[in-house]
Amino acid sequence: MRQLLQLHAILVTDPPPFSVLDPNLAAVRLISAASGHANPRHAALVFSVLQEPNLIAWNSLLKALADNHLYSHALAQFNSLLLLRPRLLPDEFTFTSVLKVCSGLLDLTSGEASHALLLRYGLASNLFVANSLIDMYFKFSCPGGARRLFDEMPMKDVVSWNTLISGFSSSGNVRAAREMFDRMPERSFVTWSAMIAAHAKAGDIAAARDLFERMPERNVVCWNAIISGYAQNEKFSEAIKLFRAMLQATAGAGDGAGPNTATLVIVLSACAHLGALDLGKWIHRYIEKKEIKLGLFLGNALADMYAKCGCIPDARNVFDKMPEKDVVSWSIIISGLAMFGHGDQAVAAFREMLDQGTEPNDITFMAILSACTHAGMVDAGLEFFRIMREDFFISPKVEHYGCMVDLLSRAGRLEEAENLIASMVVPPNAIVWGAILGGCRIYGDVDRGERVVRRILELDPEHCGCYVYLATVYSSTGRLEEAAECRLKMRKQKVTKTPGCSWIEVDNTVHEFFMGDRSHPRSSEIYAMIGELRKKMRLAGYVPNISVVSQSIDKEEKEDAVAMHSEKLALAFGLISTAPGKTIRIVKNLRVCKDCHDAFKVISKIEEREIIVRDRSRFHLFQGGHCSCNDYW
């Protein structure tokens, strides 16, 4: 942009003769370049000094404003063209921008008026204009009108078909999109990718994969569509497997065939969910080897991967090297510190962000409130909650209230937590009430817990956590009949508990375990290690915490049950699969239970291993018989 301004200055201070350089031509090039550098203000300034702007100059301005989402300004300029320059008849380039503007504004009245006007100018049969019209009517949620326009087109190209298929897909009518796809005479990579993405978005990943396998040839966009489809449907292991298949399929096929920035962002997100640190590090090395620019999206994805894999120093290193940072970048760092319970460091990062002029958003405040929750910083949390509303005018969402209720409940301030719920400006959901339930469990407030459970079941009759909570509380207090009644209600209402699932990455492969899982190829070795650990742990003074088991089974069966929790199986596999002394990293989809937490502290000492567990809310670093959370989680 600096060089562009220098060229503009030369044109102003030392202009060539008119015969050499037409001012309109120079203006068009300047407007286009300024728009390409996301500087529509300068583009409009260039246009404003033209004595007699021609239609090409008007079209350039309209395109610059439309491309930079200044839709209201673009519409005003179009009206000025019609009023001030009636001799300049709008052409297909004019209406392509104008229809985009009407779509962006979701202004049906202006869209229909523009449609009528282009009919008057005889441009309805123009291919570019017709394609823009189809897209506009889909944006107006008028798929019938879009389909009629498509059927009436005397000539169609691949863009016409793609626009129709994408429109049906975006409106949720995957069946109509697939019907048009099957009728399409010639398909481009974009068409295949759009249809794959449509099936994936609808949750039909099998249909998406079937299309992908049927493709005669593939490019990076098609690979990205299927990998992203698996990631969107939370099939992260499969997404990573496809990424490896992509690397093999495109090896030696030239620079343009392999993964691009979008691919890497998708796969880094999958690595973050699974805690696949080794693959994430490989991608980092790949980025450096290929000298790929660490732009905003890629940099944020890489920092997020490191943060969610528990490598906060690496995340901060990536963050510091990013040439550009936004509020998302800062939120990633603050959230990463929060998940490790580093409340003071998270607050320091928040202050640093403010000092550098980046304004926090609701996600940033969610991160800093979470940091206060995990560190037990009640007063600081209450202050940040006030700042969010009063200083930054951000209305708390239900998630913010849930975090504050959790903060107060963990600190034993259950009465305050209930009062906060009563004062909420948005209706409390089951998650908010569930935060109090956690506090009731910690502090043994059975009466309040029963009252909260009734509230939760009013909102969500199939909330499995309530039944599990009551059954566990009743069992631990000797109220066995009531515990059995809870389990009976669960069976009658077909309420199912979300199964615990844990992941561990070994030798660049992610292994998945469920409770009592025996499907792993090394299952016999895993259970043999579990047996050895149980013996060693007993000698070290460990006693299984069977209160976490709500079933009516005998003590020995309960001990066997807690020994087969998914995170213990993952840990046992890590112990038999990695070198002595190597850090073991595990990710779990649920909150780590009290027994596993106690067991991991003992195992970290007797096996002399550093164990990092990421559950659904935070990290636990087990080392030398202690946990980084200080048993506050």
SS3 514: strand
Q: What is the percent of the chain where pLDDT is above 90?
A: 71
Which residues on adjacent β-strands are paired with residue 512? 503
SS3 515: coil
**Rounded distance between C-alpha atoms, residue 197 and residue 186, angstroms:** 19
**Rounded distance between C-alpha atoms, residue 127 and residue 149, angstroms:** 11
Predicted pLDDT of residue 454: 82
pTM score, whole prediction: 0.79
Predicted pLDDT of residue 480: 74
Task: Using alpha carbons, select from 609, 608, 601, 600 the residue that is nearest to residue 565.
Answer: 600
Predicted pLDDT of residue 476: 63
Predicted pLDDT of residue 47: 95
Task: Using alpha carbons, select from 359, 405, 397 the residue that is nearest to residue 381.
Answer: 405
Task: Using alpha carbons, select from 31, 38, 25, 30 the residue that is nearest to residue 10.
Answer: 30
**Rounded distance between C-alpha atoms, residue 56 and residue 91, angstroms:** 10
- 32 phi, psi to nearest 5 deg: -65, -45
| Residues 256 and 241: beta-carbon distance below 8 Å | no
Predicted pLDDT of residue 255: 62
Task: Report, as ranges of residue numbers, the positions in the chain whose pLDDT lies below 70.
Answer: 18-20, 254-256, 464, 475-477, 495, 547-554
**Rounded distance between C-alpha atoms, residue 529 and residue 531, angstroms:** 5
Domains of the chain (ranges plus CATH)? Answer: 396-497 (1.25.40.10), 501-627 (no CATH)
Burial of 214 (0-12, 13-18, 19+ CB in 10 A): exposed
Determine the angle formed by the axes of helices 261-274 and 220-232, rounding to 10 degrees: 20
Predicted pLDDT of residue 420: 95
**Rounded distance between C-alpha atoms, residue 465 and residue 471, angstroms:** 10
**Rounded distance between C-alpha atoms, residue 339 and residue 312, angstroms:** 10
Identify the residue whose tokens are 């007063």. Answer: 379
Predicted pLDDT of residue 630: 83
